[in-house]
Amino acid sequence: MGVKVSASLMCMDLLHIASEVKILEHHVDEFHIDIIDWHYCKNMALAPCFMESIRTISSIPMEAHLYVDNIDMDLIDLCCESGANIITMPPEIIERQLFHIQRELAKRQVQFGVSLNPSMNMDVIVPYGHLIDRLLILSVDPGFAGQPFIETTYDRIQRAVQLREENHWHYQIEVDGCCNEKYYQKLHQAGADVFIVGGSGLFSKSEDTEKAVQICLDWIKKETLCTNG
């Protein structure tokens, strides 16, 4: 399909975690784990112990997306030990230790990612763009599902592509928030490499998760093939 698909586990049926995971792992490329502390934004979600449990039943790559006000190496180590393959963090929270965190993740063979809120200037990554493995561009304000898509996301993705090409950087660009069939084609055209699908793009499509994920993937295939054509 030309893009990776990452399922946001915060949005799945948490009463049936094991069965949901076993279905999803056969269809998606990654699991996206939102860790939210009620301080960075007014919501609470998953935790490293959740990832640790998922790792006992699945080997699929997992991204820990930290919406956390106080990020330190204790939390990062816990995420690594719990099975995270990628850890994505707000740069404004880690800016005083960003280079140190990236070096420590590299030692642990865990990818380093940053997440940019919709109001942030894309050029904030210029001093450290060469270090980023994953650039997460939020298409809604952080915190809650169900928000309207912010149309300037397309321009922000295009700027991320431009910066990557001009500087020969290597990061993948992923989009998070209201990622569904209304937007797949334009997101792909803009240059997104990874779609994070949650409530609107995946789990709302059917009460049967097997059917829901197939509907989701069919839409992505259709829209990205249209783009390539």
Residue 201 has pLDDT above 80, yes or no: yes
- From CA 11, how far away is CA 34, in angstroms rounded? 10
72 part of the active site: no
Can you give the CATH number for the domain in which 190 is found?
3.20.20.70
Residue-level pLDDT at 50: 96
State the average pLDDT over residues 125-130: 98
Quick one: pLDDT at residue 104? 98
Instruction: Decide: 224 and 185 in contact? Cβ < 8 Å.
Output: yes
Q: Verify whether residue 34 is a known catalytic residue.
A: yes
Domain that holds residue 18: 4-228
What is the structure's pLDDT at 147?
82
Q: What are 133-191's pLDDT values in tens digits?
A: 999 999 999 877 778 999 999 999 999 999 999 999 999 999 999 999 999 999 999 99
| pTM (2 d.p.) | 0.95
Residue 1 has pLDDT above 60, yes or no: no
Residues 6+ apart with CB under 8 A from 188: 2, 3, 223, 224, 227
N-terminal to C-terminal alpha carbon distance within the chain: 12
**Cα-based distances in Å from 29 to 21, 78, 118, 170:** 12, 23, 25, 19
Residue 229 has pLDDT above 50, yes or no: no
- Band of pLDDT at residue 228, cut at 50, 70 and 90: low
Q: Give residue 102's pLDDT band: very low, low, confident or very high (50, 70, 90).
A: very high
* Average pLDDT value for the chain: 95
Question: Tokens 């993948």, residue?
Answer: 172
Per the structure, the count of domains in the chain is 1
Q: Which of 34, 77, 123, 208 is catalytic?
A: 34
Residue with tokens 């803009």: 190
If you average pLDDT over residues 114-118, what whole number do you get? 97
Summarised one tens digit per residue, pLDDT across range 45-68 is 999 999 999 999 999 999 999 999
37, 176, 208, 218: which is the annotated catalytic residue? 176
